[in-house]
Amino acid sequence: MDELKLLSLIEKDGRLTPAQLAGMLGEDEAEVAAVIKKHEEAGTILSYPAVIDWERTDRELVTALIEVKVVPQRGEGFDRVAARIYQYKEVDSVYLMSGGFDLMLLIEGTTMKEVALFVAQKLAVMESVSATATHFVLKKYKDKGVVFVSEANEDRRTPIV
């Protein structure tokens, strides 16, 4: 069985059943279910998230990308600083990056002020953080492979494979 293809299909649509996946791969359903279970237990499959278009709800949500310059810790590099940062509930994602900044954070809050206060009061004051740059997301066009389109073109709202 092509396990990478199976994992790719699951990543694109976590709602697919083992029967559907088996049909798509030309494999036995029980074998597909066993491989999925193996990857869940090994920690390869971590979760099955949905992509939500929050603009179509009443929820107020502000998203920001924050670049962070970090002074690496001796013997631990960026790992200890990243672990401290990802503990905050406001932090959705943390990535180690190449380029002018070391870490990229994806932050969510209810207002721009809330995000700004997080940066000013929690992030920028950390000993290992030497600089930050905050970029607020104004509109999502595509997220996790899903194109966000207007209601007039709703039939086009599908994952791009």
d(CA 35, CA 3): 8
Segment 68-84 shows an average pLDDT of 90
The CATH number of the structural domain formed by 54-136 is: 3.30.70.920
- pLDDT score of 150 more than 80: no
- Write the CB contacts of 68 (distance below 8 Å, at least 6 apart in sequence): 85, 101, 102, 103, 104, 105, 123, 129, 131, 132
Token readout for 136 is 């607020």
pLDDT tens digits, 88-145: 999 999 999 999 999 999 999 999 999 999 999 999 999 999 999 999 999 989 888 8
- pLDDT score of 5 more than 80: yes
Q: Specify the pTM.
A: 0.75
d(CA 132, CA 112): 16
